[in-house]
A and B are shown apart, each in its own frame.
Chain A
Amino acid sequence: MDGNKDYHQVTEDIIRPIEMKPSRLWYIGFYISVALLLFGVYSVYREVTYGVGQWNLNKTIGWGWDITNFVWWVGIGHAGTLISAILLLFRQGWRTGVNRAAEAMTIFAVMCAGQFPIWHMGRVWMAFFVLPYPNTRGPLWVNFNSPLLWDVFAISTYFTVSLLFWYSGLLPDLATVRDRAKTKLRKLLYGIASFGWTGSTKHWQRHESLSLVLAGLSTPLVLSVHTIVSFDFATSVVPGWHTTIFPPYFVAGAIFSGFAMVQTLMIILRKVFALQDYITLGHIEAMNKVIVLTGSIVGIAYITELFIAWYGQNPYEWYAFKENRANLFSPYGWSYWLMMFCNVVSPQMFWFKKLRRNIAFTFFMSIIVNIGMWYERFVIIVTSTYRDYLPSSWSTYYSPSIWEIGFYLGTFGLFFTCFFLFSKYFPVIAVAEIKAVLKTSGENYKHKMTEIEKADAEKFYLDEVEHAH
């Protein structure tokens, strides 16, 4: 945290954007998002009214853009909880600057992801069939042994827990907005939203315990979600999908793309709301380090997968990799090499400190990574399905219809509409958490810490802990 701050200044810096009229830029962005959202609504309307035939999904490509987009959005939805939960457990102090917005991003991304399997059902009015309840059809139960049902549980649990984690963290900050509100409407609404939070010491004690346990629960949860998504593929017998490497490979990819999306949003956010003191270059650099690490893990996974396809001596598996993917001149060869370039080659630039701390370059890279990660899912889904075991059905070249593209754009609309509203009406940085670390990591307090840090640990413990009370 940079700059000369005290507690009140922190409140001022972070809450002020909520109390001011949004800028012209905010309105432009918001209206574009709403327009995209409406186009998405219309695209979905077409699909519901006329059926899934509105999309170019076909034999043998039953999953196309929709499931690609689903996996892509779920992946993006991993960074928020990772930042808040795993980095909390690893005691990474820098997370306080970015966790709130990253969690919001998670929730909105999972909302977008959920749209795809739901509308992909075709007869969406039957969507409740996925719920396990003693129904009037037998009672016929859902198949608890199916990864697709695991996904239903995983995504809905992940959404619920992320939402609870996010909102319980927001309560004290909403109370801060409420207590300094000048207008009646703001007092009323933030009064309702902050649940009557007072800041009592006992409540803080319970709040701390709650956050810690929720973080502990979210850590395996976030890893389980993309693992289960990868089971959708890995438990099938489709060449290119039937691999045991999928769970770790998907999780690493999810963190990779999630951090890229956090970078995209944070770089805009800190600029628009003048939060450079809170979301510092240090934060951006730290996240770039995570990107180069996970990008390299993804790269190793790609190469391992390719090697095992050859080494495994399964002719169908090897054909899928050699001819459908790695062969640049095959119909979808371009997408495989685009993916390789965006995800494996380009993040290696972040080994250079200069580039890790370059904002324009980071922004550009974050977009490249997200394009690459979208293509990863596209490659997995389409290149494995467009040539099945029956070569007579190989002639189709799948490209999306306008309503498929519209649906995807619509989720961008949903995501950014939510994010714009969030950035206007909620504290985008965890105010209370920043205050809690202000006296240890604030720039104007740091020098006082040096002496304490140099002190003898044994003596410090005896003086400060044993004799303190």
Chain B
Amino acid sequence: MAGGIKKFVVGSFDDEAVLFPAVKNVRRAGYKIHDVYTPFPVHGLDHAMGLRETSLHTAGFIYGITGTTTALTCISWIFTKDWPLNIGGKPHFALPAWIPITFELTVLFAAVGMVLTFCYLCQLSPFVKKHHFHPRATDDLFVMAIECTDKTNDAELESFLQRAGAKEVNVQRAETGWWIGRYDREQKLYRDNETGY
């Protein structure tokens, strides 16, 4: 996946009360926050980082009405055109009797569609591996990765983060995309492999 190796200054915080002002100050100082990795959803952090709202729910709505239309068109075509069954002399176009299935398909399409879209947007899948800036980002640390440009002074940024309350600060060169990999071993990317293949 398109990503490429970039350099980051990484600061780890252990309290969200310290994290929020830090995010604010880092942004005000003009640094570009690549991402903040947190062990749980921290409410308001997305706004503090200036992320836009997700439109995943809109996608869910579209999937839902797709399910509704699929059910209604299929059943009415089948029961009025393709094979009109005489069921106790009742009308072929029996809309009230189709409500349960229509409802179920609406929910099914919306749920499956949304989960797949979620996985696609977040690039989540079995066998996918990504760079993790800190193993405790899923435990008890809030890990802020700041992208470095040619002009960034690493040492200055590191001390800036320390003053902002970071418990650990370091510099990492990391692949930003994902690759097919396994978590039980460190892997070299092909392009780092000097012998080639």
Chain A interface residues (CB < 8 Å from chain B): 6-8, 11, 132, 138-141, 143-145, 147, 149-150, 153-154, 157, 160-161, 164-165, 168, 171-172, 175-176, 178-181, 184-185, 187-188, 190-193, 195-210, 212-214, 217-218, 220-221, 224, 228, 231, 431-433, 435-436, 439, 468-469
Contacts and interface: CB of A to CB of B under 8 A. Distances in A.
A203 B136 CA distance: 17
A191 B83 contact: no
A171 B183 CA distance: 15
Describe A's contact surface by its main secondary structure: helix
A210 B126 CA distance: 19
17 contacts: A8-B139, A11-B139, A141-B82, A143-B85, A143-B87, A144-B97, A178-B138, A195-B126, A196-B128, A199-B137, A200-B122, A205-B51, A207-B122, A210-B114, A220-B107, A433-B40, A469-B48
B42 interface: yes
A35 to B, nearest CB: 32
Interface in B8-58: 14, 16, 24, 35-49, 51, 53-54, 56-57
B115 A204 contact: no
Contacts of B112: 160, 164
B182 A188 contact: yes
Contact of A179 (B45, B115, B132): B132
A212 B112 CA distance: 14
Given A7-B140, A192-B126, A217 B107 contact: yes
Contact of A168 (B16, B82, B115): B115
Contact of B100 (A139, A141, A153, A439): A153
B122 A191 contact: no
A439 B17 CA distance: 11
Given A195-B125, A202-B35, A202-B122, 10 more contacts: A138-B83, A145-B87, A157-B104, A176-B138, A188-B184, A192-B126, A200-B35, A201-B35, A207-B122, A436-B40
A215 B63 CA distance: 16
Contacts of B189: none
A113 to B, nearest CB: 16
A198 B39 CA distance: 9
A191 B138 CA distance: 13
B57 A213 contact: yes
Interface in B63-115: 64, 74-75, 78-79, 82-83, 85, 87, 90, 94, 97-98, 100-101, 103-105, 107-108, 110-112, 114-115
A439 to B, nearest CB: 8
Contacts of B38: 199, 201, 204
Contacts of B37: 198-201
B124 interface: yes
Interface in B138-175: 138-140, 143
A171 B97 contact: no
A217 B184 CA distance: 37
B130 A180 contact: no
B40 A469 contact: no
A171 B124 contact: yes
Contacts of A433: 40
A469 B25 CA distance: 11
A209 B54 contact: yes
A235 to B, nearest CB: 9
B107 A210 contact: no
Contacts of A184: 184-185
A144 B49 contact: no
B143 to A, nearest CB: 8
Nearest to A436: B40
Contacts of B75: 144
Enumerate the 10 nearest inter-chain pairs by beta-carbon distance, A residue then B residue, closest first. Answer: A191-B183, A7-B140, A196-B128, A195-B124, A188-B184, A150-B100, A435-B40, A187-B184, A432-B40, A145-B97
